[in-house]
Structure 1
Amino acid sequence: MTQSPWERWTWVVAGVWLVFLAYPVVETFQADLSWVARGLTLGVLAAFAAVYLLGFAVWRRHALRVWLALLALGLATVPGIGIEAVGLTPYLGAFSALMVPAPWWRWTTALSAVLPLVSLVGGDFPAFFFLMVWPIIGFCAAIRVFGDLDAQAERARAELALTAERERVARDVHDVLGHSLTALSIKAELASRLVDLDPDRARAELDSIQETARQALAEIRATVGGLRVAGLDAELRTVPEVLADAGIETRVSGEVADTDPRHRTLLAWVLRESVTNVVRHSRASHVAVELSSTGLVVTDDGTGMDAATGEGNGLRGMRERVTAAGGTLLLSGGGASGTRVEVRLP
């Protein structure tokens, strides 16, 4: 997995702050120590700086252990520089807030922030230090909190995108299967009636069933792969054939060129689902399809909609697609007045 520039170079940013280790180093030289004690203290400070940098650079997966090592090294300087060792706490707090994994980082950061209070116990530590340590630790903790919130938001966006993709595939599969199975059912019924009356035409219908089944299988595969794009011109060629097999006459007004190119895929989906509903439910004898620059209208002279049953998956999916494109889906008709499906697009 590719690392971000922050992950690759954060140790450089952390290294810049090591300049403030000059204060405990100077205090080591000013303290009344033997050369051995002074050398050991300077060695501990050098080890502290090295572990601090390595924790940001190569030991990121062991951040909690690194923090514990930093704490131990910081305490090891107490015999040499005394209360001045509290000057190492900003490093502890910053490393804890930025690197220690959850849930431990909250506890280690809080402990890092509390440690400077030790200097109040009979110490002579400058008060302005408290104006520096806590803001630094607080700033790093805020970075961690906002980073965690951003990560949570990213995960939520990914989950929403996955849910939307699943819904898209479900809608597409429903539309493809609904249309194709309806066409297959109509053709099969027609072929069964023609077996004795017109064997040649029945054979042609059976060949058409095979072709429709192959096309449906290809569309399902493409839909699952997210590659299927419905074509309005192809739907306009297919619709009269499907309706004719069901004994329904079709009248088409307008041409594909009259529609907005941005919305032709959507209009193809709407046309397919509308025709599928006509064949399945309407018992209509005539269907009119009107194409225009503002959308599409499909009207039939069938039994109309049953308000009691509400919208099924097909109509709901159609409405969701149209709304997502900034358009409006209007459904009207009832009783014997047929059904009118109108799509208005910007």
Structure 2
Amino acid sequence: MTTSCDAEPLPDNPWEKWGWAFAAIWLVFLTFPIIAVAESEVSVAATVGAFLCIAGFAVANVLGYSSRLDPWWALGAMVVLALATAPVIGIGIISFTPYLAILSALRLPRPAWKWAVGLWAAFPLLSLLDIDGFPTFFFLMLWPVMIGGVMLRIFGEREQLAYAARGEHAIVAERERVARDVHDVLGHSLTALSVKAELAARLIDLDPARAKAELESIQATARQALAEVRATVGGLRAGNLEAELAAAPRVLADAGVTTRVEGSVADTDPRHRALLAWVLRESVTNVVRHARARSVVIELGPRGIAVTDDGAGCDGAEGNGLRGMRERVAGADGTLSIGPADPGTRVEVALP
């Protein structure tokens, strides 16, 4: 069974899908070593060999961002091919380091990528030696490119962590929802079963026919509770205000409590009827369990619902039911007030 508590899947690494396109675009900067080879005073064979090495470097770089070639193998091939051009372009092989750094930053696992990028970032410092007339400022142009690759890696990892955090939050929120819903369903149903069982026990000798009817009602209520629990765990159940409004007087009557309803479902805001159904269910359950009331008034209106009893009043700490009710109401930007009704208790929910 699949429920909404399944964690949100982590996004695919974009560099595995589109990294090759990114790498292909940046190959334009291989123009520098290509020009250096073309201007070198070496044999034709050495020139052709250098061009082939640059082409192989480009291919390995693009494949390193795809699933066709392990990034470690791609880096190894790129290093070998870059070094192979050294006899032709000399210190100019430093121009290959940004490609090595960015591939390392974006494709190597942690923590290896950090050490690899640090290694490649150190090579441009050789330009300060002014070898072969190499421009000493060259490293200033290469480092920003490498830093860009590092920032892309950091932002990507932060995004992965954000997705994971959202997934974990969704799991926790769904667990709380299921726990709250199961509590509401079982609390109401078990209370109704308890009241009906007590009534049947008193009637077993006085009115066997009525006692039999109550036992059959117990069976029906138990089956309904089981179905509701299954639906709740599956994330399929939603409160039905009409059904709860029809069931409340019956449950209260079994407990010896009379009910008066002021207003109707049509008077309520359709957006909040599922929430109002949960509030009514929990309020009726609390009356039956704790209030020792003789009458209850249920008021329905466009702003919400109020349930007032003439029982013993409210005292003590709130239980899971009331806490769950507060969470539901707060989630709808509403307010829940519980106070004395002189006598009894009044539970009122106001919604926007």
* TM-score bracket for this pair, using the shorter chain length: over 0.9
Q: Distance in 2 between matches of 1:311 and 1:24?
A: 75
Greater displacement, 81-90 / 127-136: 127-136
- Answer whether contact 1:252 1:290 (CA < 8 A) is retained: yes
State the AA in 2 paired with 1:53: V
Q: How many residues align?
A: 342
The Cα shift of 1:130 comes to 2.5
The Cα shift of 1:321 comes to 0.3
State the AA in 2 paired with 1:79: P
Q: Which of 307, 326, 333 is equivalent to 1:319?
A: 326
Q: Secondary structure at the match of 1:102?
A: coil
1:52 aligns with 2:58: no
The Cα shift of 1:4 comes to 7.6
The Cα shift of 1:3 comes to 5.6
The Cα shift of 1:126 comes to 1.9
Identify unmatched segments of 5+ residues in structure 2.
1-8
Write the mapping of 1:61-76 to structure 2, written as runs, cut at 5 A. 62-76=70-84
TM-score by length of structure 1 reads 0.94
- Answer whether contact 1:67 1:100 (CA < 8 A) is retained: no
Q: Distance in 2 between matches of 1:50 and 1:259?
A: 67
Greater displacement, 138-147 / 178-187: 138-147
CA gap of 1:6–1:115, structure 2 versus 1, over 3 A, is closer
State the AA in 1 paired with 2:312: T
Q: Distance in 2 between matches of 1:163 and 1:63?
A: 37
Q: Distance in 2 between matches of 1:9 and 1:138?
A: 20
Question: Which aligned runs of 4 or more in structure 1 are off by greater than 6 angstroms?
Answer: none
Q: Which of 98, 104, 107 is equivalent to 1:90?
A: 98
The Cα shift of 1:302 comes to 1.0
Q: Which of 329, 332, 339 is equivalent to 2:345?
A: 339
**2:107 is matched with which residue?**
99
Q: Distance in 2 between matches of 1:5 and 1:92?
A: 19
Q: Deviations over 1:184-214 (max 9, x none)?
A: 1111111111111111111111110111011
Write the mapping of 1:241-260 to structure 2, written as runs, cut at 5 A. 241-260=250-269
**1:149 is matched with which residue?**
158
**2:335 is matched with which residue?**
328
Q: Percent identity?
A: 57
Greater displacement, 14-23 / 314-323: 14-23
The Cα shift of 1:139 comes to 1.3
- Answer whether contact 1:329 1:341 (CA < 8 A) is retained: yes
Q: Distance in 2 between matches of 1:170 and 1:64?
A: 48
Q: Distance in 2 between matches of 1:330 and 1:102?
A: 53
The Cα shift of 1:68 comes to 3.3
Q: Deviations over 1:83-108 (max 9, x none)?
A: 00001011112212222222211111
Q: Deviations over 1:286-312 (max 9, x none)?
A: 1111001111101111111223xx111
Q: Distance in 2 between matches of 1:76 and 1:339?
A: 88
CA gap of 1:139–1:5, structure 2 versus 1, over 3 A, is closer
**1:113 is matched with which residue?**
121
Higher relative contact order (CA 8 A, sep 6+): 2
Write the mapping of 1:37-48 to structure 2, written as runs, cut at 5 A. 37-48=46-57
The Cα shift of 1:337 comes to 2.7
1:223 aligns with 2:232: yes
Identify unmatched segments of 5+ residues in structure 1.
none
1:18 aligns with 2:24: no
Greater displacement, 112-121 / 164-173: 112-121
- Answer whether contact 1:63 1:101 (CA < 8 A) is retained: no
TM-score by length of structure 2 reads 0.92
- Answer whether contact 2:130 2:136 (CA < 8 A) is retained: no
Greater displacement, 237-246 / 15-24: 15-24
Q: Deviations over 1:53-87 (max 9, x none)?
A: 11112346x22332233223322322221100001
1:134 aligns with 2:118: no
- Answer whether contact 1:59 1:66 (CA < 8 A) is retained: no
- Answer whether contact 1:64 1:101 (CA < 8 A) is retained: no
